[in-house]
Amino acid sequence: MGNITIIRSYQYLYVLCDPNPPNFRRFSPASEFSFHMKMCVHEFTKIRNILLIGNAGKGKSTLANVLTGTNEFEESTDPINGTSKTKAKEFEHEKIKYRIIDTVGIGISIQSTEEILNKLKGITDILSEGINRILFLTNGRFTKEEVEAFNLLRNVIFDDRVTDYTTIVFTNFAKFKDEKACEKNRQGFQQEIGKISMPLASTAIIYVDNPPIIGFMEPVARISREASREVLLNHLRTCQEVYQPEPLKKFRKMLDEFNSIIKDTIEAVENVDLYYKTNITYLGEFITTRRVIIENIEERLEEVRKYMGNRFKSSVVSHSTLLIGKGLSISGIWFPPLMVPGLALSTIGFVSAATTDISAILKENEAYKSFEESLAKDKEKCENLEILQEELRNLINKFKDIRPRFVISEYRKQNIDRNKIEVIENVMNQILGEEIEPDVDLNNNEKTKYSTSQETVRAVVEGICKLAPSPLSFYCMYRDHKETKNRDSLSDMETTIKDFREGLKVLEEKQQQLNELYETIKRCKEKIAKLT
């Protein structure tokens, strides 16, 4: 924690903290002393964030290695292809913890504003804790691009107070141990930089020299680096105040907002992908089931036609016998010997007609019940598919709700990461731009004309009516002949078969369309998964 000396003198407590320069504080109540003791400890235990900025090739990675005493930062003197990724490293010196943050080179003409902000977005979590010092590195004169880049950071990430927390570091100043040489350079630099940036002219300036550790000059380079490290650490020891600019908080909020959009988009795409796959699978099963149902209905249709054909043949014989018997019975009034044969034939014809009619209707009813069971099964499949379609519609609507958030997001407006923005745009355009419609016309017609109970009642009534002499038999034969091809049960089945066959074509076309759309969704899923 540093040197803490507690001096007791009557009712007063004195604490001597040593953050350089020494700061002597006087406290009266013991509780206040305890509070400031904790604050003093906190100052020496909290990590101090040191942000390195500057053009590529100006020695940021080298200075980071010098400060941390490691070789974990890749050193480069290339003014074009310097540090390409932001990196942070923690170390401790004299019980003070530091975190050195080496940023991507800024001020390079080939880098856009968006690219610079894109690189900085990776350290917003760290920067949101606050910055103790910004080291702006140069190895000579500041270029116009470097100044513009600094102004960009001041306007977008930081604020006008940034220069109060910034130190300009000359990284290749061989006479950095010569105070007069440093002061002379400092005055000249401040006059020159003041012409293009007054805020930078007022910042603190320190000088170091970090030559590369190569060849026969390696021992000298190590000594120079160690001396530079001492200069840097002596300066950083005094940088206790934490800088938390409001724009940086807004930038962090902007990133969090966009990350939330990415997260929600990924989740939405995964859900749409899952339900599309489920819909396609179930639709395939539904098509297969409907084909089987059509075959079953066709079999029932042929059975009913057969029953009606047999009924007509039996009806002709039965009603002919019935009519002959009735004729003989009537003739028996005048010719009694004909009465008995007439009654016998009438009875046989009546029983045969009634039995044939009722038997045909019962068989027809049985076939029709099987047909109704097929319709019920198809209806159940339809309802299940409709539920899946409704769930998919809801998911797509939720997906649509993400789009307005994305369109108005500051991240997109400021074009922070063009690659991510384009991925989200492409995904939304491909999935929502085509107005995907998951609905399938299932064409399940529940309306039927045939009634098994009505047909049974009709057969009984007709049987009773046949007991009396009437032209009903002629009507029955005519009707039975007509109903071999035109009967409500047959009409219902034929209509259903026709509708189902037409529906199958639509379903198969929709299945193909959904498969194509699903391939698009899978590609979108693969693209957006790379954003995590």
- The CA distance from 435 to 453, in Å, is 48
Residue 319: its pLDDT value, please? 60
On the question of a cis peptide bond just before residue 19, with omega within 30 degrees of 0, the verdict is no
Spatial distance between the Cα atoms of 244 and 11, rounded to a whole number of angstroms: 38
Q: Which of 253, 364, 244 is nearest to 303 (CA)?
A: 364
Give Cα 220 distance to the centre of its chain. 57
Residues lower than pLDDT 50 in the chain: 1-45, 79-83, 107-110, 435-436, 450-457, 459-470, 474, 477, 481
Residue with tokens 């910042």: 203
The half-sphere exposure of 195 on its side-chain side, counting CA atoms within 13 A, is 8
* CA dihedral (53, 59, 60, 66) positive or negative: negative
* Pairwise CA distance, residues 299 & 19, whole Å: 97
Query: 0.75 cut: is pTM over it?
Result: no
**Tokens standing for residue 220:** 């000298």
CA angle 509, 515, 516 (to 5 degrees): 95
Residue 243 has what pLDDT? 92
pLDDT at residue number 27: 37
Contact predicate 43/93, CB 8 Å:
no
What was the pLDDT predicted at 140?
78
pLDDT of residue 13: 34
Say which amino acid occupies 151.
N
Q: Distance between CA 187 and CA 206 in Å, rounded?
A: 12
pLDDT of 468:
45
Looking at residue 100, its pLDDT comes to 92
Of 510, 518, 435, 490, give the one whose Cα is nearest residue 303: 490
| pLDDT at residue 216 in the model | 81
Residue 115 has a pLDDT of 62
